[in-house]
Structure 1
Amino acid sequence: MNDWTPKPIPTTALARLPLTPEEGFVLSRLDGATPVRHLTALTGLPPERIQTILARLLTLGAVHPPPTSVPPTPTPAPAASAPAMPPRTPEELPDAGEEEEDAGEPEDEGAEAHAGTFRQLFERRLHPLTADERARLARESGEPELSALCFDPVPAVIHALLENTRLGLAHARLIARHHLNPVGLEALCGRAAFASDAGVRRWLVRNPQLPAGLFRRLWGGRRLMEQFKVVGNRDVPEGTRRTAREVMRSRFSTAPAEERVELILLTEGRVLGALMGLPVDGKTAALLCGRVYRSPLLIQNLARWSAAPPALIAHLLKQEAVRRQPQLRQLLQRHPNAPADARRGD
């Protein structure tokens, strides 16, 4: 169900449907391109509430049913007074590959649970050896020495570890997290299987010694949303976040219009501050203008976006949420791209 992409039925007379404001809000967020798993980030509603509303929309004939599946069974709706969950922060937003990361967690947790023991073994018994002796052990040893040598700061030892046929993803993740030499990290990512592992990438991006060039190679082709996750992650060193911002801006300039719109909507416009000075093409503007906007935060961020196309400003001024909130209307009217007649109405 989380992989289903709900698509509204355009021929349905929506005005005649007995929709609650919440159901109408969720329906307005369905663009036929956003999967269910992203709707929580878009709406601020919990997953179980999303499922209930989608079941209701299916029953009313407002959306196409999932392919080769039956509509979900409606669950009891929460009390009307229950507050909706607030929109999640950028650090909490899902990104491409999140499922793969989750799948790797058990192995990661098992390795990290013994990390203190492995570090002690390295510091007390292995570190006193010469680098050449440690490299020889790295090529031949099994556990626990194999995991302990992942803490070695010498790149030559990491190269030797990579020649050990017993080395696996759990060891690669230890190296990605604890090895503090760019040369060793480059060697680790020379293995495609390690470089593509979500767990390795998760720790690499938090490693303060990750080279900017290596980040560009590994993240340059990733989806915009995944790049934004790095930009907004406070666990990532500032230097890497700056590089990620540059990579994201470069990728935004060439990404498909659908991906640009997805990034803006999923972040409630928070990303726009990092995209100052970057224009959008006509297709991106058209996609943005084809939506109903109910989120004050998203409208406010779009109103403060200097590159917002004139058509988008005019479209936002027509939204019910803007009509009801004078401060949003005034913010849009003062935008340099606001239509002349809108400015006169200020």
Structure 2
Amino acid sequence: MSDWTPKLNPTVDLRRLPLNAEEGFVLSRLDGHTREKDLPALTGFPPDKLRDILARLVSQGALLPGTEAPASMNTVRPPAHHEADHPAPSVDASATEPLPEAEASDGADDEAGAADDVPEAVLGDFRKLFETRLHGLPEDQRVALAHGAEDPELSALCFDPVPAVIKAVLENSRVGLPHARLIARHHRNPVGLEALVARAAFASDTGVRRFLVRNPQLPVALFRRLWAMRRLMEHHKLTVDRDVPEQTRRTARELLRQRFSTGPSEEKVELILNTEGRALGALVGMPVDGKTTSLLCGRTYRSPMLVQNIARWSAAPPALIAHLLKQELVRRQPQLRMMLARHPNAPADAKRA
């Protein structure tokens, strides 16, 4: 198989394509980064069969064609097998709803692309399979099934609300990151989420983490354990992400202040500059060390918004206020100079001017 990386065609509505169960399942395993030659391990399909499926998906427009896109070994579309047991994506599936960015004004979330690996049309198909065929089984049967299930049943069981079933899914030898992301996104029991995070390979995945912080049942203690040592910018993005539950955002604000008081100076400077000082609103009364001050004073400032936010920051060090007053931007704009001159840490001569 080739080094071609199959990628979804963003201009095509998957719900309108006549996909069979195998094609829908393969689509659910594409993240836009995994090469064709690595897909047999993720899908369980032999390379020749997988090549045929990918070729059909390209011909239907579901995948973007590439220079190394596979040519179908069988130009006649084979009949879908077991479609009664494994329903294909349909028009009734959930409408596409892309995840929003953590904060548009601060730039794209670096983890976004890694997380959105399951098309909503296919996601709705897994949910439908669970609700129509699996949910009605007794709990002990679902646990037993989860231990040895293959996809699409294994993915469907990730929607089970019972922690014992989720634990059984995680013990399945076929479980992988796509299943972990489904659990992080849709499971609503803290016990099941604890079991998920107990697997280090899953807990470190950017997609799993992204979905966990948006899960309203993520325990505060578990969030603290996962995010305590993350970069300041990551904490800030959570504090302003409207898709993060308020409890998690509140904890993120607490962690942001804790990390700001003890974190590296370089991270503090990165936070202040990359947010144009907007993050300072959550850091009232938080002073900075000499190294951070020195790094901030070693820069040329061209953003009025950044200067205004620093001028409103009560803990802005005197050396930084003095440095800003010397900037060409401030000298050209009297309103900025006035804001800085009124700061309690402004030099005496600036206050008299």
Moved over 4 A (4+): none
- 2:103 & 2:325 partners in 1: Cα distance? 27
Partner residue in 2 for 1:128: 136
1:296 is the counterpart of 2:304: yes
Contact map agreement 2:115 2:211 (CA 8 A) in 1? no
Give the counterpart of 2:147 among 124, 131, 139.
Answer: 139
Contact map agreement 1:308 1:337 (CA 8 A) in 2? yes
Alpha-carbon distance, 1:114 to partner: 1.2
Alpha-carbon distance, 1:109 to partner: 2.8
Report the RMSD for the aligned CA atoms in angstroms.
Answer: 1.8
Deviations 1:30-65 (A, max 9, x none): xxxxxxxxxxxxxxxxxxxxxxxxxxxxxxxxxxxx
Partner residue in 2 for 1:312: 320
- 1:242 & 1:268 partners in 2: Cα distance? 22
Partner residue in 1 for 2:103: 90
Partner residue in 1 for 2:23: none
Contact map agreement 1:245 1:274 (CA 8 A) in 2? yes
Deviations 1:48-97 (A, max 9, x none): xxxxxxxxxxxxxxxxxxxxxxxxxxxxxxxxxxxxxxxx993453578x
Question: What are the within-5 Å matches in structure 2 for residues 253-292 of structure 1?
Answer: 253-292=261-300
Give the counterpart of 1:330 among 332, 338, 350.
Answer: 338
Alpha-carbon distance, 1:247 to partner: 1.0
Contact map agreement 1:90 1:267 (CA 8 A) in 2? no
Count of residue pairs the alignment pairs up: 253
Partner residue in 2 for 1:25: none
- 1:282 & 1:243 partners in 2: Cα distance? 28
Give the alignment's TM-score, normalised by structure 2: 0.69
Give the alignment's TM-score, normalised by structure 1: 0.70
Task: Pick closer, same or farther for the CA change 1:231–1:177 going to 2, 3 Å.
Answer: same
Deviations 1:248-286 (A, max 9, x none): 111111111111111100110010001111110111111
Question: What are the within-5 Å matches in structure 2 for residues 41-80 of structure 1?
Answer: none
Partner residue in 1 for 2:178: 170
Task: Pick closer, same or farther for the CA change 1:92–1:183 going to 2, 3 Å.
Answer: farther
Partner residue in 2 for 1:207: 215
- 1:312 & 1:150 partners in 2: Cα distance? 52
- 1:199 & 1:157 partners in 2: Cα distance? 22
- 1:282 & 1:95 partners in 2: Cα distance? 31
Partner residue in 2 for 1:185: 193
Partner residue in 2 for 1:118: 126
Partner residue in 1 for 2:118: 109
Contact map agreement 2:265 2:291 (CA 8 A) in 1? yes
Alpha-carbon distance, 1:185 to partner: 0.7
Give the counterpart of 1:237 among 209, 230, 245.
Answer: 245
Letter in 2 for 1:283: K
- 1:246 & 1:157 partners in 2: Cα distance? 34
Letter in 2 for 1:326: P
Contact map agreement 2:114 2:207 (CA 8 A) in 1? no
Task: Pick closer, same or farther for the CA change 1:92–1:196 going to 2, 3 Å.
Answer: farther
Secondary structure at the aligned position of 1:336 is classed as coil
Secondary structure at the aligned position of 1:151 is classed as coil
Alpha-carbon distance, 1:234 to partner: 1.4
Letter in 2 for 1:93: D
Letter in 2 for 1:252: F
Contact map agreement 2:102 2:108 (CA 8 A) in 1? no
Partner residue in 2 for 1:16: none
- 1:281 & 1:319 partners in 2: Cα distance? 22
Secondary structure at the aligned position of 1:221 is classed as coil
Q: Which runs of 5+ in 2 are unaligned?
A: 1-100
Alpha-carbon distance, 1:309 to partner: 0.4
Partner residue in 2 for 1:41: none
Give the counterpart of 2:224 among 213, 216, 219.
Answer: 216
- 2:313 & 2:102 partners in 1: Cα distance? 19
Secondary structure at the aligned position of 2:276 is classed as coil
Q: Which runs of 5+ in 1 are unaligned?
A: 1-87
- 1:139 & 1:95 partners in 2: Cα distance? 38
